[in-house]
Amino acid sequence: MKKMLVIEDDDLSVRILKLIFKSDFEIDICRSSQEYYEKYCKTNYSIIIMDISISGNINGLELMKQIKKDPVYTGTPILCLTAHAQPQMRHIAIEAGADIFLTKPVNNKILKKAVESLL
């Protein structure tokens, strides 16, 4: 089973992602940047879904850049799912390394399709 990393600190969002993707992916939930470096940075994931606003020392964008630099994740697609709906945010997120940028609230089916398209 493919592995998915969800970097998200909102409980409700985590629950929903779990509900959507639990049948297809083995899902790890990371709630802060610190937690990422502590537990998940060595694991090879097929896909990473992450928010821009996360707890921790660095925000989602910064974390995204670092993940992209990491040779382990060179080929790992990142789906950026965030409530930051400003148009420029899309550009910033793509620049930082996101492969797909979706804003909340997002249709479940669209989200699923988007993940499928990345694999």
Partner 1 sequence: MKKLDEKGKIGLTTKRTKLLMKKVFCNRIILPSFTFIVCLFVTYLIWNIAVTNRKSELHAYLEYRSNDVYNRIEQRILNYEQILRNIRGLFYASDNVNRREFSLYFNSLDIDKNYPGIQGIGFSILIPTNQIKEHIADIQNEGFSQYKIWPEGKRETYTSIIYLEPFKGLNLRAFGYDMFSEPVRKKAMQTALDSNKTTISGKVNLVQETGNKVQVGFLIYLPIYKNGTTNLTIGERRKNIIGWVYSPFRMGDFMEGLFGERGEDIHVEIYDWNSITNETKMYDSKQLDNNLDEAPEIKKEIHFNGNKWTILVKYTPQLELRMGHNAASTIRIVGIILSILFTIITWLLVNKKIYTIKEDAKHKLAASYLKKLQQEQQILLDNIPAWVFYKDTENRFIRVNKTFADVMEMSIEQLEGKSLFDIFPKDQAEAYSKDDKEVLTSSIPKLNIIELMESPKGNFWVQTDKVPYIDIEGNIVGIIGFSLNITDRINSEKSLRESNQIIKEIIDSIPLRVFWKDKNLVFLGCNKLFALDAGFTDPKEIIGKDDFQMGWHNQAELYREDDRKVIESGQSKLLIEEPQNTPDGNNITLLTSKIPLLNSEGEIIGVLGIYFDISERKAAEEELMRSHEQLTKLNATKDKFFSIIAHDLRSPFNGFINLTELMADSTENFSHKEFVEHSKSMNKAAKDLYKLLENLLQWAQVQDGSIDFSPQYFDLLKIVSQSIDTIYQRANQKGITIINEIGNSQKVFADEKMIGAVLRNLLSNAVKFTMKDGQILLKSKRFDNGAIEISVADNGVGISAIDVKRIFKVEEKVSSLGTEGETSTGLGLLLCKEFIELHGGNIWAESEENVGSTFYFTLKGRNEDENE
- Contacts with partner 1 by CB under 8 A lie at 9-13, 15-16, 19-20, 31-32, 52-53, 55, 57, 82-86, 89, 103-106, 108
Q: Between residues 73 and 100, which has the closer beta carbon with respect to partner 1? A: 100
C-beta separation of 57 from 15 below 8 A: no
Euclidean distance between CA atoms 64 and 77, whole angstroms: 11
Closest CB 36 distance from partner 1, rounded Å: 15
Nearer residue to partner 1 within complex by CB, 72 or 85: 85
Alpha-carbon distance values, 112 to 3, 18, 88 (Å): 15, 12, 24
**Beta partners for 25?**
2
In the complex, least distance from residue 16 CB atom to partner 1, rounded to whole angstroms: 4
